[in-house]
Structure 1
């Protein structure tokens, strides 16, 4: 048993160590803020279909409004505004629909012969091309907006912001070519400076251009400070928050602050989901960060969602970007699955051994319990037999004591009678009075003495077993019960079973004591047993139980 206990403890320790190592592997490298952000993201992902329904409802309302303007005779300008609004709503949601309605708004702008309207629609078309990675088409559209000069006012800022995004996106796209990347980055920073110059300090556009400039000049701490300052403003939308948090994740990644990057990208992905945005990089970049940190499960889940977004948005360069990292994550996931399978095999083997040892221990315990129960039963049987023997011994001693006293009294009376008889016979023989002797012999009191012996037995027995008559009658139906008054002798049948009760069990001995033949005794016994309520074979056993409870 000691060896069995030691083996069980050792196996349990192995299971505990394995479980602890898995738990540590899963939780290492992620602080509580990042974990909280990831948990929030997971909860929002569970409600993803709900946010998609809200987005679809919003798009449905705008499409219905546009159809109303097309069916009714409404001003062309109103149709233009409805079409442009629908295009802007589609832009982060689905590329082909956004491009379709942007071009339609551009056509309406041309029909209006309103240069400002055409430029706003053209800017929207260019953003659609940039979102899809179609840089050539985006450049043609940008050149078409302002072929010779840049307009004044808000359109100036919007065009500079568009050109900034175009050049900086080209720089990122050509990061493998230092010369081209530098040329595009310089052009983008020049456009950012124009925006910073033209916009008031503290405005969204001012902050937005400044953040991009700081990031491309490797001023990451300053960029983080600017982002946090803008995030504190209550006027920014959820879509703006998604973009700003994505930029914050970029800055944190470039500073090698993995925890801050994970937290920011997770928060950005939350806002992307809430706003129904499919044109996003936050989930894919978050998956990449988690992959590097070893959280393969989440990385695989997020990269699958990112691929779903890319497929739904239907932008080729997004699919390519996600496709670059997805195989690596899938490979790691398969490796982790294989590792877990091996761990599960180990757990199963250890658990099986524990189960076998447990079964063995249970079998040993059952065998010991059986042995203990058997020993207990034997002890109880021995104690029961001993109690019965003691009871019988006490009963025998009581009977012996009672009959010894009765016998002394009866013997004393008998000797006294014999002395009287001898004295009478001697006197009559000496005087030769033979007739008197004959008369005395004829008057022998043997029969009376036998009756007296029976009376003495009955008195002694009922004294020893005062409930004998009552318990004896209980063995018969009411009509067969015999009632005795105080002082009445026992009936011959009762006397037979009274002798059996005191241990005179042989029929010959009973017949000799009662001066009956053996056949007569057997006849009495059979007749009595046939009248009783118990089986014949059990009757004498019930007789032996009489008086035992006293």
Structure 2
């Protein structure tokens, strides 16, 4: 169990490392592509400096011209075919002036190299046939046979015909053997030809060994690194080592971009791998870069290669874009529907809130009315309680008086003192009794409404306010409105209580309301606002 868990954890760590390292390399490649113009600018600046140096010579010698155009050719040979070809043709003009047959043949090698790099196989063949190997030194003969080998291998890849491809590969192997026979077994030329030959013959194990030896060299140029990394990447992919294969190909592409190399296959092969893995967007971006490089250089056979792959990737990319467009349209419709639903819900909610606000206002108003009614009921209860007590007290007093009067009359009648009856009855002062009754009413009322007089007078100007005489609590006018305040609003009832005529009550009320600061219609409403205790 422990071993199983350790294996799982190790696998997860390996997958994590794979993703992290590969993603890091892709990030580096993408960063390099962003700076691609900057790397090209460095290359062009170096070329411009060589041109300026050549122009400074007023009367350059043939050797100076040869050296200058050779330097320019080296800069252009993997950068731009037309410019490299121009430099090679200038060398072709200058070489005879040096009286050195080896230089003339060397120039042919240069022309053959760029013609082959551009995919011009017929022209390459003609140039190679015109070269006299015996006129070349050992190093140049190695270059000559290597170029011959590359020519036939490239021709085999281009034709891909069962019959002719086998023959081309065999010729390529023969020329590779010739070049290797002249090379040091530990040299770059020997190992690269050995690796290429073994790769062509399907001996992946031997090819891997050769290319891994080359990759261990410390002094490889960026272009040499890219070529051999691309070859080793192919072998790793064939052997099932996907991560190592992709990593090497990405590193090769980075080297090409940073060295401003346009004659390249790394990014093209990388685009093809990514397309097959389903990463259409990145594959499309990379193959466009490959096409741009091939067009800039003038590599016709690369353009044909790319032309065979590009429509497929573009078609897939268009399908992906169309699928994304449909998804986006679907999401847009869904978002629109959701938006309309949200808007509908918001409208409904606002309507409900509006209804709730109206209902809340109604409830608040009802509560206020209820509170007001409760207040009126409390006030009415207080008035009722006070005046019930007052009523019983008054009635009790008058019953006592009536009882005493009755006894007095009965005694006088028994005693036959009829004349005294008139005197007794004369002593009964109804006006005084009524005044006493009013005074009792005033006391009870002002006990309930202690601020009534002040509240009443606040409805008038200073000069029109009620003046209370000494010994009084309220005057008749105040008493009329006091009765109204406790709920007795009928003029006839008020007249009977106060022992006035209805007209008198009406006249009092009209005269007082006219002096008020408020309108006649609103006077009694303000009167009712005077609070009890």
- Normalised to the residue count of structure 2, the TM-score between the two structures is 0.81
Q: Distance in 1 between matches of 2:332 and 2:315?
A: 25
Describe the shift of the 1:55–1:415 C-alpha distance in structure 2 as closer, same or farther (beyond 3 A): farther
- Secondary structure, counterpart of 2:398 in structure 1: helix
- Normalised to the residue count of structure 1, the TM-score between the two structures is 0.78
Question: Aligned-pair distance for 1:100?
Answer: 0.8
Question: Aligned-pair distance for 1:401?
Answer: 1.0
Q: Distance in 1 between matches of 2:294 and 2:353?
A: 68
Structure 2 partner of 1:6 = none
- Secondary structure, counterpart of 2:134 in structure 1: coil
Structure 1 partner of 2:3 = none
Question: Aligned-pair distance for 1:127?
Answer: 1.7
Q: Distance in 2 between matches of 1:117 and 1:540?
A: 131
1:261-410 pair list within 5 angstroms: 261-351=245-335, 354-355=338-339, 358=342, 379-410=363-394
Question: Aligned-pair distance for 1:378?
Answer: 5.2
Q: Distance in 1 between matches of 2:480 and 2:220?
A: 117
Given the alignment of the two structures, is residue 208 of structure 1 paired with residue 196 of structure 2, yes or no? no
- Secondary structure, counterpart of 1:398 in structure 2: helix
Q: Distance in 2 between matches of 1:379 and 1:500?
A: 30
Structure 2 partner of 1:190 = 174
Given the alignment of the two structures, is residue 181 of structure 1 paired with residue 169 of structure 2, yes or no? no
Residue among 412, 432, 436 paired with 1:448: 432
Structure 2 partner of 1:58 = 46
Describe the shift of the 1:270–1:484 C-alpha distance in structure 2 as closer, same or farther (beyond 3 A): farther
Question: Aligned-pair distance for 1:122?
Answer: 3.4
- Secondary structure, counterpart of 2:174 in structure 1: helix
Question: Aligned-pair distance for 1:130?
Answer: 1.0
Residue among 146, 154, 167 paired with 2:139: 154
> Structure 1: which 5+ runs fail to align?
1-29
Describe the shift of the 1:252–1:411 C-alpha distance in structure 2 as closer, same or farther (beyond 3 A): same
Describe the shift of the 1:473–1:91 C-alpha distance in structure 2 as closer, same or farther (beyond 3 A): farther
Cα deviation 1:127-185 (Å, max 9, x = unaligned): 2111111123223333444x141633433433333333223222222322x34323332
Describe the shift of the 1:222–1:350 C-alpha distance in structure 2 as closer, same or farther (beyond 3 A): farther
Worse overlay, 105-114 or 316-325: 105-114
Structure 2 partner of 1:137 = 123
1:83-102 pair list within 5 angstroms: 83-102=69-88
- Secondary structure, counterpart of 2:264 in structure 1: coil
Alignment length, in residue pairs?
Answer: 511
Q: Distance in 2 between matches of 1:475 and 1:224?
A: 116
Q: Distance in 1 between matches of 2:259 and 2:61?
A: 31
Q: Distance in 2 between matches of 1:486 and 1:100?
A: 136
Structure 2 partner of 1:26 = none
Describe the shift of the 1:546–1:270 C-alpha distance in structure 2 as closer, same or farther (beyond 3 A): farther
- Secondary structure, counterpart of 1:182 in structure 2: helix
Cα deviation 1:168-214 (Å, max 9, x = unaligned): 222222322x3432333233333434444544455433442233223
Asked if structure 1 preserves the Cα contact closer than 8 Å seen for 2:180 and 2:193, the reply is yes
Given the alignment of the two structures, is residue 110 of structure 1 paired with residue 99 of structure 2, yes or no? no
Q: Distance in 2 between matches of 1:291 and 1:183?
A: 32
Q: Distance in 1 between matches of 2:455 and 2:401?
A: 38
Asked if structure 2 preserves the Cα contact closer than 8 Å seen for 1:493 and 1:524, the reply is no
Given the alignment of the two structures, is residue 165 of structure 1 paired with residue 150 of structure 2, yes or no? yes
Question: Aligned-pair distance for 1:395?
Answer: 1.9
- Secondary structure, counterpart of 1:418 in structure 2: helix
Larger radius of gyration: 2
Q: Cα RMSD between the aligned structures?
A: 3.8
Describe the shift of the 1:148–1:127 C-alpha distance in structure 2 as closer, same or farther (beyond 3 A): closer
- Secondary structure, counterpart of 1:149 in structure 2: helix
Question: Aligned-pair distance for 1:326?
Answer: 1.8
